[in-house]
Structure 1
């Protein structure tokens, strides 16, 4: 289903982008991808809180000014995002730091109430739903695909929920499948049957023995969501409401089917040095990423979620201990410091301490969200362009350094040793 572009004067380049930049979290190793200026041009789609502080509040204090300068450094780069916003919460104290604009051509600063795409940070939400059901005894971490999803290939049958959540399943990545890429290239606003996304790889064997190694795959969280539906008889979208939105009081978080975002929105951009940033906010629909990368939220809601999820407010102590059984593996894109993969969550060990959360990148957006072990402190940092190791390695290194400074500010250790 196609719609009228929000900026008709940019329509010709928008159509060109559709053919050259299908953005997600990782590229296929099986299909050669066209490139422009050394950058990967066709990636893989979809991986791509109710705050007390008023949205328009200005950051105060020397510490916040230093953090704002760090965000401004990103925005001022030739390949940098047009806008950036970070939310830091310490108990009841909320700090908002921002740079740039929410929409190119305006002077409006990014706001905590602007809607944005969460990309692969969506995987934390499917993890939250699954772990809540584990707490209720409706799912088990050692439940297998054969038991819960017998319609999937028999060769996948021994894969467990635990292995799906920590990306050690071996499931082939549907978003790397040539047929999927061809369809999304031809029709970026295509409405997929999200519950059939794994059909693109059901003829493929596992890539390795389940549990034998880590490999980030968008298929994992599609299977997680399908398991939650099989265990409850409820739609995943409804489970998000009952298991995540309502317990945390999230009122501006959603999992859309189409390509539109609610207003107000934080616009996402394709940035090419020397050219005007191209608005790609509505370039792709969300149904092709679903539980793996389709969530939409505001910086405020995203921050509240991360506090509740990282701090275990949503799950019991016993389940939280299982969640924090880590293996070596980085999120996509990598977050600050060293990364390890848990069950729907990553540990980021920085020079100032450890936080727990998730990252994500998709067309127009890169996300980092994390919280402390006790959930008292949380941080989200959102920028309005896609940054990853394949396309923008230098910018990613800069972004990770900035993220680490924000983690240090969150933990009360702002200065480098």
Structure 2
């Protein structure tokens, strides 16, 4: 794992532990490129909110304005999608998708294929009435960005989010590319639950979970996200309007959560987990990367590290996600 903890007036704590490759025993480094999973969603929703500020889209537009044949599409707005309150089924939980992915984890799925796994299922509830985390939502928001701008999503997010945020080592891969130096990742999400090296597996999800970044880029992005540097004050206020999730101490806004006072996002995919959060009360930033997504005593590895660290340094604001 690698961890970075920073706060004004205090020496930064940056450490790497363990090995980056169990075959060579190469050591971990805080300078590595890492797959960041669902932290990607913070960039995708920021791209959408930049369009809101430029009056190119409205949060209250129905998804049917941009994408057709979405279940309940006339009632699901862009706001519902960004808030994880659309009711659309998460394609990652579809039995056929799981079978297809486990059978060939190097396979590339198109956006249309991923949406097809989701759209076999009806919307679970009226839009806006409940929280339900779904990668399908962010896939659709990336399609909205493409429709509104005429640009491929990766090009738009690079020009209008990554470059203005001065993030040099963060990008959306087109496939399974993973530039060196990087750490290998390990999972037991396999057909027989044996541990496998996932370094070159399809990272899944594109705009929902495929981005690559570094500890230091995420340090910068955490404060940009929480303080709204790239957005108008009004749009940032919309982003940080947290709705209940049903999880104790956790609310979800527009592509961002608050976890016992910490603002940011976590991410998990086979072989990698990330926690990237910012505590406005003391302007502290915490970034954790792990090279495994294997639960420890029923809890995500990234969550356990973040809980332990914040329990020491900010005991009144302990990051935690209870099993749901």
Q: Which residue of 2 aligns with 1:307?
A: 223
- The match for 1:366 among 257, 273, 277 is 273
1:232-265 Cα offsets, whole Å, 9 max, x none, are 1111101110122101111211222332311000
SS in 2 for 1:247: coil
Contact persistence 1:269–1:278 (CA under 8 A)? yes
- The match for 1:279 among 187, 192, 197 is 197
Change (3 A) 1:99 1:319: same
Distance 2:306 2:175 in 1: 31
Distance 1:263 1:270 in 2: 20
Q: Which residue of 1 aligns with 2:88?
A: 171
Task: Single out whichever of 112-121 and 402-411 deviates more from structure 2.
Answer: 402-411
| RMSD, aligned α-carbons | 2.9
Where structure 2 has 5 or more consecutive residues not aligned to the other structure, the ranges are 318-324
SS in 2 for 1:392: coil
Contact persistence 1:268–1:363 (CA under 8 A)? yes
Matches within 5 A, 1:112-123: 112-123=30-41
Contact persistence 1:116–1:298 (CA under 8 A)? yes
Q: Which residue of 2 aligns with 1:69?
A: none
Distance 1:407 1:310 in 2: 20
Matches within 5 A, 1:33-52: none
C-alpha deviation, 1:97, in angstroms: 2.3
Q: Which residue of 2 aligns with 1:214?
A: 131
Q: Which residue of 1 aligns with 2:286?
A: 379
Distance 1:262 1:98 in 2: 19
Q: Which residue of 1 aligns with 2:244?
A: 328
C-alpha deviation, 1:381, in angstroms: 0.8
2:252 pairs with 1:341: yes
2:33 pairs with 1:127: no
Distance 1:380 1:246 in 2: 21
SS in 1 for 2:250: strand
Change (3 A) 1:234 1:196: farther
2:108 pairs with 1:191: yes
Name the larger-Rg structure. 1
Change (3 A) 1:103 1:248: same
C-alpha deviation, 1:195, in angstroms: 4.9
Distance 2:108 2:301 in 1: 32
Distance 1:183 1:238 in 2: 29
1:330-367 Cα offsets, whole Å, 9 max, x none, are 7xxx8xx8211111000011xxxx22000111111111
Q: Which residue of 1 aligns with 2:183?
A: 266
Where structure 1 has 5 or more consecutive residues not aligned to the other structure, the ranges are 1-83, 412-417
Distance 1:221 1:271 in 2: 26
Change (3 A) 1:409 1:295: farther
Q: Which residue of 2 aligns with 1:144?
A: 62
Q: Which residue of 2 aligns with 1:255?
A: 172
SS in 2 for 1:291: helix
Change (3 A) 1:232 1:260: closer
C-alpha deviation, 1:271, in angstroms: 6.5
1:38-85 Cα offsets, whole Å, 9 max, x none, are xxxxxxxxxxxxxxxxxxxxxxxxxxxxxxxxxxxxxxxxxxxxxx11
Change (3 A) 1:235 1:175: same
Matches within 5 A, 1:399-410: 399-405=305-311, 408=314
SS in 2 for 1:393: coil
TM-score by length of 2: 0.86
Distance 2:282 2:147 in 1: 30
Contact persistence 1:378–1:410 (CA under 8 A)? no
